[in-house]
Amino acid sequence: MNRTLERYRNSRLRSFIKRHGKYLPILFFIGGFIFDSLTLGRIDRVYDLSVLCVHMSLLSITLYLYNLADDGKWENTFLKSYQIYFPLAIQFFFGGLSSAYVIYFSRSVSMSKTITFFVILLALLFANEMLKKRISNKYLQFSVYYFLNFTFFTFMIPVFIKQMNTPVFIISGVVSLFLTLLLIRIIYKKSPSTRAEISITKLIGIILVMYATINTFYFTNLIPPVPLALDSGMVAHQVVKENNSYVVTYERDDWYIFWRDHRLKFIHQPGEKVFVFASIFAPTEIKKSIFHRWKWFNENTEDWEVVDNIGYEITGGRDAGFRGFTYKNNIKPGLWKVDVTTKEGLILGVIDFEIITDTNVKPKRVIERTF
């Protein structure tokens, strides 16, 4: 009786999947995205590390099983009954891994980095789901896999070795490239249907182009130097360190500016210092030199001029980020921005503001907040 009921339920589930197969992969992608969005927090937590490692491992295994299924490799095995679920599992892991990376990328206040990453993911997903008849699905699967694999190692290796710099990023990319090509080679060798469907030369070429593109994005600051990220940053009237806390005096913006607490227009009084406060997330025990590169917009030349570059050291591990500040005297009116960078010049985030020196205008809604 129990076996009959189980077979009946499995039959109904398979029938449901076949009827709605067009939409289920997208739903599983979103499901993986939501799952990690609700559960993940810090890249250096044991839970987060475990989830990402499990997702990446199971994605690799499932890709292997799925690509050999068309060759009848799992006939007369227990895996035969589960073949129909392989595509859904792949999409779930795609969603879970991409959501994790978006969570960690979004720690940076420079949202363009996260948007660049997310647009790539959405473009790959769109192609995978909407253009199946025109583009080989396996090319797209391995492209998405490599993109997620590259990102996985750029997070993981710095966390484990407690270092983050350009050589570490390069090593992370090489490791991900080697492991991806190894998986592709194994599948290609064992699967006649894969050999018939794709050109190994073309696929490796696509992967190498992606490798070069991601490196270009990194060195041109289109993605942040993960796992470091700027949690928060603002221009302030005063920053004072008291008992391992920072008391920041700044102007609060209008109530309807719900996405930002501080005001970008800084009302400067004669002789007043201008402070820039930043809170930077770094995984436990990662030590790094951080710089504030002060830049002023010259309206005559219509160009940004570097006025100063002030550095300080950080050590990771604090939930709310490592806090630091710099300040300047004799500041000019106009548009300013402070690039928060690493020693190598990679940008963690950008703090924009405008200096107004009209003595008839007074600061409003000035508050103190402890960080």
pLDDT digits (tens, 9 = 90+) for 235-288: 999 998 888 788 999 988 887 777 778 888 999 888 899 999 988 877 766 777
For residue 236, the model assigns a pLDDT of 92
pLDDT tens per residue across span 324-368: 889 998 889 999 999 998 888 888 888 999 999 877 777 778 888
Distances in whole angstroms, Cα of residue 236 to Cα of each of 252, 324, 337: 10, 12, 13
Residue 20 has pLDDT above 60, yes or no: no
Place of tokens 């800084």: 266
Q: Does 89 or 35 have the greater pLDDT score?
A: 89
81 CB contacts (<8 Å, ≥6 apart)? 10
For residue 320, the model assigns a pLDDT of 53
What whole-number distance in Å separates Cα of residue 206 and Cα of residue 78? Answer: 35
Mean pLDDT of 24-29: 61
What whole-number distance in Å separates Cα of residue 199 and Cα of residue 264? Answer: 53
- The pTM of this model reads 0.71
Record the tokens describing residue 295, joined without a space: 């830049």
Highest mean pLDDT among 171-180, 249-258, 317-326: 171-180
**Please, are residues 170 and 153 in contact by the beta-carbon 8 Å criterion?**
no
Residue 230 has pLDDT above 60, yes or no: yes
Average pLDDT, the chain: 79
Percentage of residues of the chain with pLDDT beyond 90: 26
For residue 1, the model assigns a pLDDT of 47
- Domains located in the chain, CATH noted: 2-219 (no CATH), 229-370 (2.60.40.1930)
Mean pLDDT of 157-177: 87
What whole-number distance in Å separates Cα of residue 233 and Cα of residue 45? Answer: 24
Helix ranges (H only) for 40-136 are 46-69, 86-105, 112-130
Identify which of 274, 312, 315, 269 has the alpha carbon closest to the alpha carbon of residue 290.
312
Residue 135 has pLDDT above 80, yes or no: no
Identify which of 287, 232, 225, 290 has the alpha carbon closest to the alpha carbon of residue 260.
232
Place of tokens 């710089």: 291
**Please, are residues 26 and 129 in contact by the beta-carbon 8 Å criterion?**
yes
Residue 34 has pLDDT above 90, yes or no: no
Query: Beta strands of the chain (E only): which ranges?
Result: 229-236, 238-242, 245-251, 265-267, 274-281, 287-298, 303-315, 322-328, 334-342, 347-356, 366-370
pLDDT level of residue 209 (50, 70, 90 thresholds): very high
**Please, are residues 244 and 278 in contact by the beta-carbon 8 Å criterion?**
no
CA 88, 142, 30 angle in degrees (round to 5)?
35
Q: Does 303 or 49 have the greater pLDDT score?
A: 303
For residue 82, the model assigns a pLDDT of 77
Task: Indicate the helix (H) or strand (E) that contains 11.
Answer: helix 2-19
Mean pLDDT of 165-183: 92
pLDDT level of residue 73 (50, 70, 90 thresholds): confident
Beta partners for residue 5, in sequence order: none
Mean pLDDT of 187-200: 90
**Please, are residues 34 and 92 in contact by the beta-carbon 8 Å criterion?**
no
pLDDT level of residue 60 (50, 70, 90 thresholds): very high
**Please, are residues 44 and 50 in contact by the beta-carbon 8 Å criterion?**
no
What sign results for the dihedral spanned by CA atoms 105, 106, 107, 110?
positive
